[in-house]
Every structure is written in C-alpha cells, then in structure tokens.
Amino acid sequence: MSEQKIIPARNPGQVAIAIVLLFGVGLLIYLVISSPFITWAAIPQFILDETVVDGIKLTILFTVLAMVISIVAGALLAMMRLASNPVLVNFAGLYIWFFRGTPLLVQIIFWFNIQLFIPSINLGFVVLDTNSVVTAFVAALLALSLNEAAYMAEIMRGGLMAVDSGQGEAAKALGYTPVQAMLRIIFPQALRVIIPPIGNQTISMLKTTSLVSVVAAQDLLTRVQNIYARNFLIIELLIVASIWYLLMTTVASGLQYLIERRLGRATYEAPAVWRAAMRILRSEGSKG
Amino acid sequence: MSMPVTPMVEAIDVRKSFGLLDVLKGITLSIQKGEVVCLLGPSGSGKSTFLRCVNHLERMTSGKLLVDGELIGYHQRADALYEMSGSELAVQRRDIGMVFQRFNLFANHNVLENISLAPILNRGVARKEAEADARRLLQMVDLEGRETAYPHQLSGGQQQRVAIARALAMKPKLMLFDEPTSALDPELVGEVLSVMRKLAQDGMTMLVVTHELSFAREVADRVIFMDQGVVVEEGPARSVIDTPQHERTQTFLRRMH
C-alpha cells in the first residue's frame, strides 16, 4: 500500500476571520492609496527635510538624557525605599505615588508654566528669571526624567529585592562595606533583572517624548506640526513622523534583543559594561 | 604567675528579642583560643541567632559580646553602647569567618573570584598573591581545577567547601558555622565535615551550630546545649552527648539518635 497523506484538521472559524481581516485591511490600504486628498510626493520630500532631521536628533537626545537621568534618580529612590530611615522610605514612596499618579502631560505643562508661581530664582549672588532657566527644553526634560524616575525606581527596587538576602549577608560577613556590597555583589546581580524592563522603557520613551510637543519643545512631532501648520499637509507629515518613530523603535528593539541575548548567554556574569566600570574603579583605587 | 588568657569569644548576658518574642534570654559563655565548640539544641532554641550576634549580623537587644577582647558591634562610651557604622563593622568582621547554611556563594563570580575578591578588596592583598592563596585553599578543600566554575555549576557539598575556603581566605581568627550541612543531601555531608575536621586539627577556633552529633562528639572540645534561649548544659563533648545531666538535653539527644 502506498503511504497515506495526512491532512491536518481545518479550522473554518479562523479561516472566516482571516478572510474578513484580509478584506478589511485591503480596503483600508485601498482607501488610503487611492485617496485623492493625500499628496504622496510630500512624503519623500519631507522625510529627510532638515527641520525633520533636527527634530529626530532632539527626540533621541530627549530619550537618552531622560533615560540616563531617570536611571540615576531611580536607583537613588530605590535605595531610599529600601533604607532603614523612615523619612527616606516615605519620601521615596510619596515621590513614586505622586509622579506615577499624575499624567505626564500635566507634568509637562506644569514645568513649562512654573514661572507662574516661581517668577525668579534667587541664587544669593544672582537672581535669574525663571523663564530663561526653565525653557521648553528644560521643562520637557525635567518632566520626562522625573516621571520616568518613578517607574525606574520600582523596576530597580524589584531588581534589588530579587537578589537573595544571603548574598548581602555573605558580603557583610567577609568585611565588605555596605557600599562595596551594593556595588560589587548586589547591584551586578540585580542588573540582569533590571535591564530587560529598562529596554522596554527606553523604547516606550522614544514615543513618549512626542508629548513634549505641547510645549513646542522642538522634538520630531513639534517640527512636523510646525511644517503642516504652514502647508496643511497634516496626514502626509504625520506619516513622515510615524515612519521615523517606527524606524527608531525597531532599531531600539533590535538593540534590546542583542543585549538580552548577550545577558542570557553568561547567565551569572555581570554585564560587560559593569565589569569594565568596576575595573576602572579598581585601577583608580590602587593608584591612590 | 601566668597572665590571664583573653578568650576568643566572650558573651556576657546576651539577650535578643524579635518584638515580643525573646529568642535569647541571657547567654553567657566563653570560648578559648583554639577551641572547637558545637552549639546543639532543638530548632528555635536561639543557637543560630546567637551565632549571628557574634559578628553582628544580628543586633542584640542587650548584653555584650567580645571577640579576642574587642567589643563587637559597639563603642563603649560612658555608660552607653553606641552601634558602629557599616564600615566600622566591616573592619571587625574581616577577622571573623562565617559559613552559612545555604552557602551564599556570590552568584556573579566564579570560584576563584569568590575566594580571592574579599582579600583583594578588604585586606589590600595583591591580586596575584590572593589568587595563589585561593588556589592553595581550593587544594585544601579538594576542589583544584574548579577555579572558573560558577556556583550554580557546583553541587551543594562543593559550594559549601568553596564557602569555607572563601571565609578562610580572609585569614580569620575565629570561624562561625551556621548549620553548614543542614542544606546538603546526606551523601554530601561527609565531604564538608571532613574539611571542618581538618580545620579543627589545624587549631582553628570554631563555633559550630550543628545537628551532626557524631561530628560534635568526635571533633568538638566542648558542646553547649541550648533550649528556649538559654544555655541548659555545657561541658566536654563526649560527656554531654553520652551522659547528659539535664533532662531537656536527654530528651533532645534521645530524639536525635
């Protein structure tokens, strides 16, 4: 007898839904492409426009600075939450409660308008006009960083708590000072729990920066808004912005994948960046 | 006339409570240099808590603890004891080795780093020297060739032997063992005990919380039996284990055999 073919069971329900989806998506694409109201030529015209490229640079700058500041602030907040002094613990708790509990958009507008109740900053030797210090850029960066720090604090606290308490005890018993125990033993182990969500937050931050356009902070979205305010090519320029946002998040996701794969490989070793930093610290220390 | 010898450990009325629960109700004891003392007793008797007070991993509620004549964890000023800062405590702990029930090897470091890092960082030993010393200690605990292994790649018995080597690398004058074999599979207990036996023969002062009666009987100079936060009975290992005087000791030992 010849071999019998095996035919897997069909799932007619899924087939039906797939057909509806294909039809719907096809229709949408058709509507967009065939629309006489979209000037397609505007997209290649503006995709590398100088203003747009400047906006991208600023969006990346906002993302990088906000992440760096929030990682440092978040680490401090996380350590405060885990400290023994009740004032530190409650300060960190209140901070996180407040900055996670109010909308980022509100925080951006708030920082931008801070001169309404603090019109000038007196440094003792010089009095500064608040408006000249807290520019749209500074207000936007403050809002993004301080808000993100609250989320970062919780991510880091989770990472620090995931490290077995016996690790810290062993370090103490071997005569590590509290700072050394944190830097050498606990934090490097917490990093592998902390890094994947930091990647997610960074990708999310690339898009979140678009909120700062409400204070005209000159990020990518602000720039395309400025352009379409003059030429009314709203959809075209939003498509331009979306292409760039997609490109940035895709690249960032790729980087995240590479980093996590590296981390996964040496499961118990501290990440290379951390070890390099420790080596530098060590050589500085032995010099002194 | 001979000078009075400073004991290695001297505990004076050490008390500890967790909230309303009194875990240590006044422990007074001393351990001489070179002595091997086993702390026996049912779980919850406070023996591990006492051990952890000796290097101030646990903060006692009242009392005094001296190691080699030095007050542990506090500065005595006038009539009060002021707790030391974290870095002052670190300095004191460098002379007191400790081995934990669950090994607690540093998961982010390999075997050689686990052993050599503390001497490099906390004693200022040169890396080369610290690593040579670590290799020598690995030989002593029968683990040559495992320098680059990470803790998760080792069996429990191997991890505990590395942990002993790690503690010894700091050249402590006193070694504390907190139930070092309780987390081990039965067939791995022997290899850890034999390392400890070697250490005892070399004259190390050891305070061991354990349930291994035969080890205590054979290796310890003295055993101290604790129950419900007090020392019930103490004396030469063989006599306490073979002919306990106190009724509570008798009940405990009967259940252990």
Domain extent listing, chain A: 45-263
pLDDT band at A145 (very low <50, low <70, confident <90, very high): very high
Q: How confident is the model at residue A128 (pLDDT cuts 50, 70, 90)?
A: confident
pLDDT score recorded for residue A277: 72
Residues 6+ apart with CB under 8 A from B133: B115, B116, B119, B125, B169
Q: Which residues of A touch B55 (CB under 8 A)?
A: 173
pLDDT of residue A2: 67
Question: At residue A1, does pLDDT exceed 90?
Answer: no
Cα A171 to Cα B89: distance, rounded to the nearest angstrom? 12
- Provide, as residue numbers in chain B, all residues whose Cβ is less than 8 Å from the Cβ of A164: 104, 107
Cα–Cα distance measured from residue B10 to residue B70, given in angstroms and rounded to the nearest whole number: 9
Question: Residue A176: its chain B contacts at CB < 8 A?
Answer: 90, 118, 121-122
Give the angle subtended at the CA of A244 by the CAs of A242 and A248, to the nearest 5°. Answer: 115
Distance CA B235, CA B217 (A): 11
To the question of domain A45-263 being in CATH 3.40.50.620, the answer is no
Which tokens hold the place of B250? 């008798």
Q: What is the reported pLDDT for A41?
A: 92
Asked if the model's pLDDT at residue A268 lies above 80, the reply is: no
Distance (Å, whole) CA B244 – CA B213: 13
B82-111: pLDDT as tens digits:
999 999 999 999 999 999 999 999 999 999
Mean pLDDT score, A134-138: 92
The terminus-to-terminus CA distance of chain A in angstroms comes to 85
pLDDT < 70 regions, chain B: 1-3, 257
pLDDT above 50 for A287: no
The pLDDT, as a whole number, for residue B79 is 83
Position B68: which residue type? D
Over A142-206, what HEC string results? Answer: HHHHHHHHHHHHHHHHHHHHHCCHHHHHHHHHCCCCHHHHHHHHHHHHHHHHHHHHHHHHHHHHH
Q: Which two tokens mark A21?
A: 């989806």
pLDDT score at A232: 94
Average pLDDT over residues A37-66: 95
Average pLDDT along chain A = 90
Q: Tell me which of A6-15, A237-246, A261-270 is least confident.
A: A261-270
Residues in chain A with CB shorter than 8 Å from the CB of B118 are 174-176
Those of residues 145-164 in B touching chain A at CB distance below 8 A are 150-152, 163
- Pair of tokens at residue A191: 């990093």
Q: Which residues of A touch B (CB under 8 A)?
A: 164, 166-167, 169-178, 180, 184-185, 188-189, 267-270
Closest in A166, A174, A185 to B122, CB measured: A174
Task: State how far residue B163 is from chain A, nearest Cα, in angstroms.
Answer: 9
Interface test with B, best of A79, A163, A172, A174 (most B CBs within 10 A): A174
When comparing pLDDT for A249 and A273, which is higher? A249
The token duo for A263 is: 């981390």
pLDDT top residue among B92 and A125 = B92
Size of interface A-B (CB pairs under 8 A): 75
